[in-house]
């Protein structure tokens, strides 16, 4: 048994040490993920963050024409129950729910540029709804929105909503 250990041991050590020689060179050759970020991306993230914050103001003001301008013609929606929708169905849903909406607040928002003309925004909304008996209930929704820059204007082209719990 000892002679087997002596023969395997140098081979085992060589295999163990080999990655320490190969990995530093591979790490040098691999592009840095931070290097790919464009300085203009921070500006894009800031612009989309503002649009996300304005979204609720527009919704609470029932300014449906302005809401239509935020959403691209090809806007696609995935509702929390799995139904698919578009710009018109989303606005129709907002109109239908509008009389019962007391407040809407965003408790979390992160905007992340993924290219020069695309930003993904994720967050958590707290929607307060007036019930028929006068009480208030809360619906929490996580969202993922995809924004693209078209003709110098940011428009939301996709949204997915998932029911959530408060943080």
Q: What CA–CA distance (Å, rounded) separates 114 from 48? A: 12
pLDDT in tens, the chain (167 residues): 444 444 444 444 334 444 444 444 444 555 545 545 788 899 999 999 999 999 999 999 999 999 999 999 999 999 999 999 999 999 999 999 999 999 999 999 999 999 999 999 999 999 999 999 999 999 999 999 999 999 999 999 999 999 998 76
In the chain, the domains with their CATH numbers are 1-30 (no CATH), 41-164 (3.10.450.50)
CA atoms within 13 A of residue 67's CA, in its CB half-sphere: 20
CB atoms within 10 A of CB 113: 21
Question: Structure pTM?
Answer: 0.76
Q: What CA–CA distance (Å, rounded) separates 67 from 57? A: 10
pLDDT per residue over 78-97, tens digit each?
A: 999 999 999 999 999 999 99
Q: What CA–CA distance (Å, rounded) separates 87 from 119? A: 19
* Contacts of residue 86, Cβ cutoff 8 Å, sequence gap at least 6: 75, 76, 77
């Amino acid at each position: 048994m000892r002679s087997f250990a002596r023969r395997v041991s140098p081979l085992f050590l060589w295999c163990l040490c080999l990655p320490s020689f190969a990995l530093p060179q591979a790490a040098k050759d691999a592009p840095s993920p931070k290097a790919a970020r464009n300085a203009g991306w921070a500006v894009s993230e800031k612009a989309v963050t503002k649009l996300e914050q304005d979204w609720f103001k527009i919704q609470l003001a029932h300014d449906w024409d302005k809401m239509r301008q935020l959403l691209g013609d090809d806007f696609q929606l995935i509702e929390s129950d799995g139904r698919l929708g578009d710009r018109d169905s989303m606005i129709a849903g907002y109109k239908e729910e509008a009389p019962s909406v007391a407040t809407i607040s965003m408790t979390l928002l992160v905007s992340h540029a993924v290219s020069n003309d695309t930003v993904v925004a994720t967050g958590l909304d707290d929607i307060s709804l007036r019930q028929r008996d006068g009480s208030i209930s809360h619906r929490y929704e996580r969202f993922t929105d995809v924004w693209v820059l078209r003709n110098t204007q940011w428009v939301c082209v996709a949204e997915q909503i998932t029911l959530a719990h408060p943080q």
